[in-house]
Structure 1
Amino acid sequence: MKFSVNDKGYYGNFGGAYIPEMLYPNVEELRENYLEIIASTDFNNEFEHLLKTYVGRPTPLYYAERLSQKYKTKIYLKREDLCHTGAHKVNNTIGQILLARRLGKSKIIAETGAGQHGVATATVCALMGMECVVYMGEIDMARQKPNVERMKILGAKVRPATSGSKTLKDATNEAMRHWINNPTDTHYIIGSVVGPHPYPDMVARFQSVISTEMKDQLQEVEGRNSPDHIIACVGGGSNAAGAFYHFLQDESVNLIAAEAAGLGISSGKSAATTTLGKSGVLHGSKTILMQTEDGQVVEPYSISAGLDYPGIGPIHAHLFESGRAEFFGITDEEAMIAGVELSKLEGIIPAVETAHALAVFGNRQFSENEVVVVNLSGRGDKDLETYIKWGNY
């Protein structure tokens, strides 16, 4: 299975667990137990029950007729924006909190950029009556204020990351420091397919419900269980990992990832990792990341708080290096135009992160008879301020 993780936690040349000695017991405890726990009947029954009755799954596969007419191809939207909390993130937080409980943990920490993972973590902690601390970059807290208030209403403590670029990378650093200092009673719910093994694999497995449903839904509407193309935005890349998961080995399905090019690939204000990055270690795994010649992490930039991460998950690094997936760098302007376009053509305001995936249609042509599924990873409520500031609608 050349696009799956191996027993050492690697996807091709990327992955592994590059961690300080203090974190080794935490990560090793997870690695030794996660597969057995999530394969158990008891776990699966509870996970599936909550996905159905609490999250609202299955999410619809919607045929976007007017968007399809404009781009002369068949476009379906996988409506993760209709999940409870407004994005795909809750699929993973439900899975991880059930896992944490079975490992005897009583406290949860998380990092968040756009705030959707923070809200999803705070939500499941409220559901399970567990203490919750969420780290968020100071800049992200300002531009995603509604999500900060949601987390607080749900009972979470939101702690600002004030170092570096004061965004997602720095929030992750702070969360890892917290975990090192509280190793026995605390579980770290990482929000994307990043971090040391087993996190990328574990998060991808919880998010794979997206592609499981997609197969059944395509069979129903198209008489076939695979599309020609799947498009998803990639920061760390959990929504893309979930949408791609059950099609990784089927090379007749083309995988397309949209990264944040910010103000332009060569502007110095970008987060287009695969174009600008090279191999290195970030937050516990070997991946592709933006770095200076002497290996210092370059500060990323994107109009979307969920995509301004200087690396990508190791699974996506492998998909890029192997040529299995196409990667597009989408500028702020292209994303905002695509977000407003979907709003006006289909009555769906997407998250700015998701708008990057929609902007692929302006950068690549598709055939009239091809079936293209876009993973509509989140809704735009949290981004109204960003749309208003951009103002070109």
Structure 2
Amino acid sequence: METSRRTILAAAAAAGLTVAATGTSHAAAHGRTPAKELFGKLADGTKVYRWTLANGGTRLKVLSYGGIVQSLELPDRHGRYTNVSLGFDNLDDYLTATTFFGALIGRYGNRIAKGRFTLDGKTHQLSVNDGENSLHGGAKGFDKRVWDVEPFANSSDVGLHLHYTSTDGEMGYPGTLRVTVTYTLTAHGDWRIDYTATTDKATVVNLTNHTYYNLAGEGSGGIYGHELALAAARFTPPEAGLIPTGEPAKVAGTPFDFRRAKTVGRDIRAGHEQLVTAKGFDHNWVLDKGITDRPEPCATLRDPESGRTLEIATTEPGVQFYSGNFLDGTLTGPSGRTYRQGDGLCLETQHFPDSPNQPSFPSTVLRPGETYRSSTAHTFSAR
């Protein structure tokens, strides 16, 4: 049974969260305007702030550094709250870690082979930071930039507009790219991400968010018992370096078939060559729905013990499911517990890896006069 509205209201009140409800006054629905506090400073003295959003029984904490989701608090089936995202309680760890915990990813989410692509007859060499490849925008991608943050609150929603301008040539990408990412918490506690971008030169763009989820709670252990469903009959198998071959493969009869919900760990050690290559799941699923104008359902994740459930809908044609394969016990979260392999997972909505070098994949090219748009919605419940 899903957690009742009354249970969420009571638990949220006890946790100091705001729950907007139908018929509440304009002021009451606002709750408090997103709260701002100093989180730390960069070496050059730049201040990094943490913003706290609370609405609909959900609390989200976001850093101006990297647009990082530092904490996501949700109730279980009994109304008990915990943080379900992996991360750190201090800025220094975010500055040195290479895990992309909770970050906004750009200009290009995922990998580009040899950090190189050709557009309109010109070859562009990107920052290489993953072997011989470029990963998540290069050595200093959007995850390592300080974003301008503009809070908002209306009669039902609260949120943040995050703005960043990536200059022509940054990390090797052509064109000055002006980006706005909006995080919204709705009156029902849903979390929506809306991305827009414009450019003054032809370029490639693929934006996403890299939150690591553990619906049992940050620091609680592994996610192999989580149940996952993906609405995808195909995936894009990669070769060495996790660069796709360019030929999607059917999931039927393989460990990659999540069309019916199954536990993450059921087949993860099945010995399939793709699982050996990636040390687990770290693959792009080709969503059956394709590119859509509005977010459509693509993934469901559930922790049977707590009942917490995450449903994802997106406009994107793909989702990268990463099972936390490279967490190695060297990082410690806010709980004081170390993160080991499989202690969190990512579901990154996206266009496909290496699309600029794969003519058969959906295009990621953005030209002057066009607007890049992408939206992903996260719906939370406790069953």
TM-score, normalised by the number of residues in structure 1: 0.27
Higher strand share: 2
Higher helix share: 1
Greater RCO (Cα-Cα under 8 Å, separation 6 or more) = 1
